[in-house]
Copies of this chain bind each other. A is one copy, B any other.
Amino acid sequence: MTADPQERLEELRRAIDNFDAALVHILAERFRCTQAVGRLKAKHGMPPADPAREQSQVRRLRELADEAGLDPAFAEAFLNFVISEVIRNHEKVRGSTARP
């Protein structure tokens, strides 16, 4: 660790950039899964949203966040942000596969 504030800032930013690359790649795989879920649900007439599943996801993520030292409220807001994007996609998939 360097004592120069500007160098220390650059060092931290390099770490942040690496974490962001990891986040983007995991999010890409997560979306592949939720897209498969969306197609499966559309094909078998399952409802796009599942409140019980979402509640258990929120509860679990808040616990994991707490253990990891992340603000559980942020983890919940983050999950809601991702889920709302997923539901938007499911509705698009449903729209495009709907048969008259």
Q: Which residues of A contact B (CB under 8 A)?
A: 5, 8-9, 12-13, 15-17, 19-34, 36-37, 40-41, 43-44, 46, 53, 57, 60-61, 64-65, 68-71, 74-75, 77-79, 81-82, 85
Contacts and interface: CB of A to CB of B under 8 A. Distances in A.
Given A8-B40, A20-B79, A33-B12, A28 B65 contact: yes
B13 A53 contact: yes
A23 B24 contact: no
Question: How many monomers of this protein are in the complex?
Answer: 2
Nearest to A8: B40
B74 A25 contact: no
B44 A5 contact: yes
A64 B17 CA distance: 11
